[in-house]
Every structure is written in structure tokens, then in C-alpha cells.
């Protein structure tokens, strides 16, 4: 490594100059640059950006910038955000899908297993993880999406519903300086809204989504970054992905939509079978939204 080579050169030079041992001040002056270099933070683009969860990114794509709320006609985002919660827990190593077994159970028939119940530090994730830990026998991905969104017909499972998810995610984004909070009057009622305040964070997210299907397109889902792949498919399932493509010119828009359609039309069982990933949970979440 360059750092160690530089350190050796400095030591050799000092040995050649004098046979005397170094005093403490001289030793400190030589070692100080090395220590500073060792303590310096790594060059990580994420350290310069606001870190957002998968749920926050999908919600941010769905929010109207000035109005600060999602479309009243969007009835997909609720379940889409629950899918994001499952994948975020998987990406953080908290849950996984049970093994397919000798009979090769289908993705939607395999159960969600808690493999690490330590807190994530995110209230929504920890609440969902607590429900999964306390549930015996384990449930499938599709069942958990229904339970967490309150769309189950089983009254005994209604207690699993995560309430006010959009509002809680919006408040997280307010705390991160991406959104602000306002009150708006709508004839018969007042509503809390969260208009965009950090245009850079939203523009960065939109650019990331656009580049994923244009300049940085990888023509193999197995080679795609899991978080990017999940963002594309769950934003599509939540009916907010097109918001990121709206600024594109006609040719780029058509190409972007064509490539998203290729992802949506994947044979998810086949992708799961050839995946080298230690968990198939994200494929199961995608399958639960497949039409």
C-alpha cells in the first residue's frame, strides 16, 4: 500500500541521516501525518448525502413537491411501503426467507424467518420486526404485506397493522431536512402536509433512478445493486416511478419504461433459483406485487 511504503521511506531516510535514536518530538513529527491519514474519514459519497431508507425514497418519489402530499388516487403506495419495510429489514440482515427445500417451494409459499432481532434504530422497522418475532408459526411475505397494511380479512391479525406510515416517514424526512411541515385547508377539513424543502436531495434521488435505467443500466438483474433493483420495482409497484421519468425527453422516457418493463416481467422463480444471494426475500416481495 502507498501509505506503508511512504512510512518505510521516511524511516530509511532518518536511519541514513543519523545513527542516533529519535527523540520523542522528532518521532511525533514523523508519525503525526500517518496518524492523521489513518483517522481521516473514507471518501464515501454517502457521507456527503442525506441517507434515506427505501421507504423514505419511495415516499419522496410519490410526494408532490409543493403540495406536500401523495396523489389521492394512489391506492398502491400503502402496500408498496410495506414491501419496502420487508426488503429494508432483509438488507439489514434481520429477516430472511426460509430455504426452498427439496420440493422447491415457490417464493410466495415460503415463510419469513427472523434471523436477528436486534433493534435497527428505525421505529417502523423495529415495530415490524417485533411482530414477526412474536408470530408463530411464521408467515409468508404476502401475508406480512397484508397484515402490516391492515388489508387482511383476519380480525386476529389487525393488531399487526402499522398505522400512519406515510405521516411517520414524512416526519423522518422533516427531521433529515428534506421536507417541512405545513397546514392546508381543504374546504371541510385541515390537513398536515410536508412540502419539499431540500431540492437537492429530491433531484439526487430522481437522478439515481434515471441513471439506473439509462446510463448505468445493467442488463442482468443478478448484477444490479439490490437496493437499486428494489427501489425500481417497489416504486413501480407503488405507482410513483413514473414521477422520476417525467422530466426525461421522449426517447429516454420510452427506453426507461421499456427497461423497467423488462424487470417487471422477469421470471422471479427462475431468478431466485440462479441467485447467489444468501436470501431470496427480495424476489418474494417482487413476486407478491407481480400482476
Looking at residue 29, its pLDDT comes to 41
Residue 5: which pLDDT band, with cuts at 50, 70 and 90? very low
From its phi and psi, is residue 182 left (phi > 0), alpha (psi between -120 and 50) or beta? beta
Looking at residue 291, its pLDDT comes to 60
Q: Do residues 237 and 80 make contact, with C-beta atoms less than 8 angstroms apart?
A: yes
CA angle 218, 223, 225 (to 5 degrees): 90
Lowest mean pLDDT segment, chosen from 15-19, 57-61, 206-210, 286-290: 15-19
- Does residue 260 surpass a pLDDT of 80? yes
Q: 209-249, pLDDT tens digit by residue?
A: 999 999 999 989 999 999 999 999 999 999 999 999 999 99
Residue 82: which pLDDT band, with cuts at 50, 70 and 90? very high
Domains of the chain: 52-197+266-288 (1.10.3630.10)
Q: 8-55, pLDDT tens digit by residue?
A: 333 333 434 434 444 444 444 434 333 333 333 333 444 446 799 999
Q: 262-276, pLDDT tens digit by residue?
A: 999 999 999 998 876
Q: Report d(CA 139, CA 120) in Å as an integer.
A: 21
Q: Do residues 80 and 238 make contact, with C-beta atoms less than 8 angstroms apart?
A: yes
Q: Do residues 147 and 139 make contact, with C-beta atoms less than 8 angstroms apart?
A: yes
Which grid coordinates belong to 92? 439489514
Q: Report d(CA 269, CA 273) in Å as an integer.
A: 6
Q: 134-185, pLDDT tens digit by residue?
A: 999 999 999 999 999 998 888 889 999 999 999 999 999 999 999 999 988 7
Q: Report d(CA 110, CA 138) in Å as an integer.
A: 9
Looking at residue 204, its pLDDT comes to 97
Q: 84-103, pLDDT tens digit by residue?
A: 999 999 999 999 999 887 77
Sign of torsion, CA 249 250 251 253? positive
Q: Report d(CA 111, CA 141) in Å as an integer.
A: 7
Q: Do residues 244 and 61 make contact, with C-beta atoms less than 8 angstroms apart?
A: yes
Amino acid at each position: 500500500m502507498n501509505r506503508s511504503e511512504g512510512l518505510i521511506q521516511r524511516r530509511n531516510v532518518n536511519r541514513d541521516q543519523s545513527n542516533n535514536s529519535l527523540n520523542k518530538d522528532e518521532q511525533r513529527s514523523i508519525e503525526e501525518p500517518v496518524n492523521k491519514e489513518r483517522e481521516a474519514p473514507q471518501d464515501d459519497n454517502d457521507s456527503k448525502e442525506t441517507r434515506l431508507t427505501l421507504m423514505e425514497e419511495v415516499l419522496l418519489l410519490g410526494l408532490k413537491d409543493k403540495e406536500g402530499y401523495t396523489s389521492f388516487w394512489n391506492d398502491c403506495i400503502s402496500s408498496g411501503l410495506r414491501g419496502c419495510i420487508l426488503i429494508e429489514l432483509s438488507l439489514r440482515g434481520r429477516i430472511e426467507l426460509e430455504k426452498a427445500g427439496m420440493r422447491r417451494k415457490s417464493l410466495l409459499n415460503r415463510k419469513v424467518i427472523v434471523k436477528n432481532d436486534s433493534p435497527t434504530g428505525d421505529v417502523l422497522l423495529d415495530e415490524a420486526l417485533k411482530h414477526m418475532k412474536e408470530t408463530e408459526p411464521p408467515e409468508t411475505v404476502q401475508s406480512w404485506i397484508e397484515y402490516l397494511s391492515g388489508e387482511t380479512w383476519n380480525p386476529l391479525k389487525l393488531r399487526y397493522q402499522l398505522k400512519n406510515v406515510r405521516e411517520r416517514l414524512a416526519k423522518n424526512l422533516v427531521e433529515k431536512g428534506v421536507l417541512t411541515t405545513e397546514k392546508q385547508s381543504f374546504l371541510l377539513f385541515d390537513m398536515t402536509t410536508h412540502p419539499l424543502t431540500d431540492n437537492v436531495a429530491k433531484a439526487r434521488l430522481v437522478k439515481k433512478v434515471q441513471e439506473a435505467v439509462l446510463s448505468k443500466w445493467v442488463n442482468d438483474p443478478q448484477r444490479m445493486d439490490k437496493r437499486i433493483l428494489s427501489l425500481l420495482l417497489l416504486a413501480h409497484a407503488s405507482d410513483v416511478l413514473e414521477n422520476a421519468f417525467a422530466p426525461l425527453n421522449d426517447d429516454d422516457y420510452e427506453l426507461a419504461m421499456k427497461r423497467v418493463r423488462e424487470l417487471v416481467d422477469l421470471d422471479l422463480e427462475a431468478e431466485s433459483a440462479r441467485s447467489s444471494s444468501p436470501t431470496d426475500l427480495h424476489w418474494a416481495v417482487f413476486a407478491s406485487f407481480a400482476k
